Amino acid sequence: DAKTTQPPSMDCAEGRAANLPCNHSTISGNEYVYWYRQIHSQGPQYIIHGLKNNETNEMASLIITEDRKSSTLILPHATLRDTAVYYCIVSLGSGNTPLVFGKGTRLSVIA
Amino acid sequence: GAVVSQHPSRVICKSGTSVKIECRSLDFQATTMFWYRQFPKQSLMLMATSNEGSKATYEQGVEKDKFLINHASLTLSTLTVTSAHPEDSSFYICSATLNPRTGYRGNEQYFGPGTRLTVT
């Protein structure tokens, strides 16, 4: 079973920041927080991951609370192409550990 | 990021026939690959873990004799759906983990574009 809880859906205006929350209150000390997204009828796309520090890359920023029980994915300037289902996943991050997907958040970016 | 391909992207087959789906890591070697399937409006469900040179590990409820997995090289894993039935119609997705780099924190898994199987 997935160890994360996400809202089922969110809307965001185009050009605004999209902030997607995730609760992972049972995360263990050596588990990472991963974010993926899936655009309709495609394979999931890796976005970002982190352990305890905040992370930023060209796609997004990941903010992890100090107690690591929740995190927020931030898309700084959402576009229509960011409309997708976003999955927050906790995982050991080892090469032979599969990712367990929950239901994710369906983000709709509106013009 | 790393690239994983799948072939075919879409296949239609008759009930009772077998279908092979290929998953390739194009620019990296993957000791381990994973196979998932996704039914409409549902999330991805892990089917099996495929390890190069050894037998695959199947999730509970997945029939290993029906879903044959072969991981013959570090860049190729295949999933064969044998004696396909209409209920096997689904979106099949593979993923591969970029091998760990020294000092790298956590590994990124990369997913293929998926194969849509329709059994008539």
- Distance, in Å, from the CA atom of B32 to the CA atom of A92, rounded to the nearest integer, reads 15
CB < 8 Å to A44, chain B: 44, 93, 95, 111
> For A62, which DSSP code?
E
How large is the average pLDDT for residues B9-15? 97
Residue B105 has pLDDT above 60, yes or no: no
Residues of B with CB under 8 A from a CB of A: 1, 4, 6, 31-32, 34, 36, 43-46, 49, 51, 91, 93, 95, 97, 99-100, 105-114, 116
Give B103's pLDDT tier (boundaries 50, 70, 90). Answer: very low
CB contact under 8 A, A42 and B114: yes
Q: Per residue in A39-90, pLDDT tens?
A: 988 999 999 999 998 999 999 999 999 999 999 999 999 999 999 999 999 9
What is the model's pLDDT at position B102? 44
Query: Distance of CA A6 to CAs A38, A52, A86, A103, B113, Å?
Result: 15, 19, 9, 8, 24
Tokens for B65, please give them: 């004799």
